[in-house]
Amino acid sequence: MHSSDPALSAVMGVLAMMPIFIAFMVAIIVLPAWFICKKAGFSPWLSLLIVVPFGGLVLLYVLAFSDWRVVPAPRTQVAAGAGQPGRSALE
């Protein structure tokens, strides 16, 4: 069943690379969602919803309309006058 048709060989070569391409694209999309969910205080496993059809939309609504359980970072003390216009921290 081997054919010497070069077009068929090219198509088979492209089809052989498709699983690698799909895995790469899923990683590019799921990885940022993983970190967003983790920083928002949710389980990072929610990012796998993006792989399911309309799951990305569900995840977007969950992130947009829920309370994020994150404690803000403590504010550091700014040098006296550094935040005021016209003054530098060296004065």
User: pLDDT tens per residue, the chain (91 residues)?
Assistant: 556 788 888 888 888 889 998 889 888 999 999 999 998 888 999 999 998 999 999 999 998 998 887 777 778 776 555 555 665 555 5
Instruction: Check: CB of residue 28 under 8 Å from CB of residue 50.
Output: no
Q: Is 50 inside a domain boundary?
A: yes
Q: Is 15 inside a domain boundary?
A: no
The number of distinct structural domains making up the chain is: 1
pLDDT tens column, 64-78: 998 887 777 778 776
Q: Is 41 inside a domain boundary?
A: yes
Residue in this structure with the two tokens 């700014």, named with its chain if needed? 78
Q: Is 14 inside a domain boundary?
A: no
- Does the model's pTM come out above 0.75? no
Q: Is 6 inside a domain boundary?
A: no
Instruction: Check: CB of residue 3 under 8 Å from CB of residue 11.
Output: no
Domain that holds residue 40: 31-58
Q: Is 22 inside a domain boundary?
A: no
Radius of gyration of the chain (CA): 25
At how many degrees (to 10) do helices 6-39 and 55-65 cross? 20
Q: Is 81 inside a domain boundary?
A: no
The span from the CA of 12 to the CA of 8, in Å, is 6
Q: Is 87 inside a domain boundary?
A: no
CA end-to-end distance (rounded Å), the chain: 84
